[in-house]
Amino acid sequence: MSRIPRAGLRRLAIALLPILGGWSAAAAAQVEVGAGISLTRDNEDTPVVAVAWLPEWREFRGGTLRWEIGAMHLRGRSDSSYDNDDDVSVLHGGLRYERPSGLVAGFGVGVQSGWTEALSGDPQFISTFGWRWGRFSLLARHISNASLHQPNDGETMLQGAWRF
């Protein structure tokens, strides 16, 4: 996978500042960023970062359904016993359900950039279960291709997330 040079990332961030600066507080409240750890076969771990846009769609059975459009990035494992040394990014879309009690559940479908034995082909299915306290959430997430491609180790992660 090709990497964007740091100078390119800086230019991209500077170009996005006017757009992001024009966001209202309500729009910013729909953005969530997260970080945590992901595990695969033999409990091999790697850091994971995530960002999602979660606009409200509708009320449903005492809770709120939200669209979830996001991306996750998992760093490759250089010391892996398996072929898991590539970085993988997953762009995904789906739904998230949030109860006033704090319960969070979601499901989505994504496409990936990069390849490992853990994440070995499109589509990837993302399931989420967790709890939310105000702006902070603790989420357990799983990404897998549902055995459409082999190998199908998948990634299981624990993320802390902050909604603006």
Mean pLDDT, consecutive 10-residue segments, the chain of 164 residues? 52 59 69 95 92 96 96 88 86 97 98 89 95 97 91 93 94
pLDDT given at position 1: 42
Whole-number pLDDT of residue 20: 57
| Residue 75 confidence (pLDDT) | 92
- The whole-angstrom separation of Cα 38 and Cα 82 is 15
- Give the domains, in start order, of the chain with CATH numbers: 25-163 (2.40.160.20)
- Which helix (H) or strand (E) covers residue 6, if one does? helix 6-21
Q: What is the residue-wise DSSP string for 10-48?
A: HHHHHHHHHHHHT--HHHHTTEEEEEEEEEEGGGEEEEE
- pLDDT confidence of residue 48: 96
The predicted structure's pLDDT at residue 9 = 56
Say what the pTM is: 0.81
| Kind plus residue range of the DSSP H or E element containing 108 | strand 103-113
